[in-house]
């Protein structure tokens, strides 16, 4: 609904109409895309103003979009710069010093002393000649015909028994060993028993004259008497 003010002058009315026309022109330009306006009627001060707009509005074609072609990138390989060498001033090597041979040469009159070990001392000359045990009662009396075993006499056994005696520092026989058998154990055993009981010796002595243990060897011949 519009209200008409009768007191408005014609000039003011004309200015109002012009303002309304300008506003509608702006509105029409805003909605022209996608909208169809058939009739537009503006009523101002009891006067009807009509605007007619074509139903079909052709829009100008959009300008083609140009896609820029990719610019090829050239790969550039930069060689490394050579190292900067700074020359260094080096002093020339010093010449080796040589002894002064122009002056007099002094020789040491003292000959060098050689550390030569002394030769080993010769072994001491023995004061005595070592000697073995010496019988004091004679080997002939150690075994007699009366010592012939009865069993050997009955069976007629004969033979020779070799022996080795160990003589202590007291001159007595401490051990008897048969070194050669007569072939009959009865005769060998009888020989050692009689030698241990009857044999007496002067004990053996070493190179210092000390009495030591020694050995004595011999043999007994068993023969049946006539």
- Residue 12 φ/ψ, nearest 5 degrees: -65, -35
Where residue 120 falls among pLDDT bands split at 50, 70, 90?
A: confident
**Residue 177 domain flag:** yes
Where residue 38 falls among pLDDT bands split at 50, 70, 90?
A: very low
What are the C-alpha distances in Å from 53 to residues 39, 63, 92? 7, 26, 107
Mean pLDDT of 71-96: 65
Distance separating the N- and C-terminal Cα atoms of the chain: 198
Res. 39: pLDDT tops 80: no
**Can you give the pLDDT at residue 56?**
53
Residues 38 and 144: their CA atoms lie apart, in Å, by 183
Rg, C-alpha atoms of the chain = 79
- Residue 220 φ/ψ, nearest 5 degrees: -125, 125
Tens of pLDDT, residue by residue over 199-225, are 999 999 999 899 999 999 999 999 998
Residue appearing with tokens 């109002």: 16
Taking the model in full, what pTM does it have?
0.45
Tokens standing for 61? 């074609």
**Residue 149 domain flag:** yes
**Residue 175 domain flag:** yes
Tokens standing for 10? 């014609």
Residues 26 and 32: their CA atoms lie apart, in Å, by 10
Contact 218, 142 (CB under 8 A): no
**Residue 2 domain flag:** no
Residues 37 and 51: their CA atoms lie apart, in Å, by 10
**Residue 199 domain flag:** yes
- Residue 214 φ/ψ, nearest 5 degrees: -135, 180
Instruction: Note the helical H segments in 137-200.
Output: 150-155, 185-198
**Residue 32 domain flag:** yes
Chain centroid, CA 108 distance in Å: 55
Mean pLDDT of 61-81: 64
**Can you give the pLDDT at residue 6?**
44
Instruction: Read off the CATH number of the domain in which 172 is found.
Output: 3.30.2420.10
Mean pLDDT of 16-21: 62
When the pLDDT of each residue in the chain is averaged and rounded to a whole number, the result is: 75
What is the number of structural domains in the chain? 2
**Residue 35 domain flag:** yes
Domain extent for 165: 134-222
**Residue 148 domain flag:** yes
Residues 131 and 213: their CA atoms lie apart, in Å, by 11
Residues 206 and 170: their CA atoms lie apart, in Å, by 15
């Amino acid at each position: 609904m519009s209200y008409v003010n009768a007191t408005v002058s014609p000039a003011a009315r004309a200015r109002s109409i012009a303002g309304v026309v300008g506003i509608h022109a702006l509105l029409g330009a805003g909605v022209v895309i996608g909208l169809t306006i058939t009739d537009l009627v503006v009523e101002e001060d009891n006067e009807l103003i009509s605007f007619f707009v074509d139903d079909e509005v052709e829009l100008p074609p959009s300008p083609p979009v140009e896609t820029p072609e990719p610019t090829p990138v050239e790969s550039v390989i930069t060689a490394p710069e050579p190292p900067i060498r700074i020359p260094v001033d080096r002093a020339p090597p010093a010449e080796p010093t040589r002894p002064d041979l122009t002056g007099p040469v002094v020789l040491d009159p003292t000959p060098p002393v050689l550390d030569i070990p002394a030769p080993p001392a010769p072994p001491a000359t023995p004061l005595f000649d070592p000697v073995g045990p010496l019988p004091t009662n004679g080997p002939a009396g150690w075994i007699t015909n009366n010592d012939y075993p009865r069993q050997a006499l009955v069976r007629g056994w004969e033979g020779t028994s070799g022996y080795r005696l160990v003589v202590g520092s007291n001159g007595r026989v401490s051990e008897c060993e048969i070194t050669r058998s007569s072939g009959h154990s009865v005769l060998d055993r009888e020989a050692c028993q009689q030698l241990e009981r009857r044999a007496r010796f002067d004990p053996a002595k070493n190179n210092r004259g000390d009495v030591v243990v020694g050995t004595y060897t011999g043999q007994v011949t068993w023969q049946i008497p006539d």
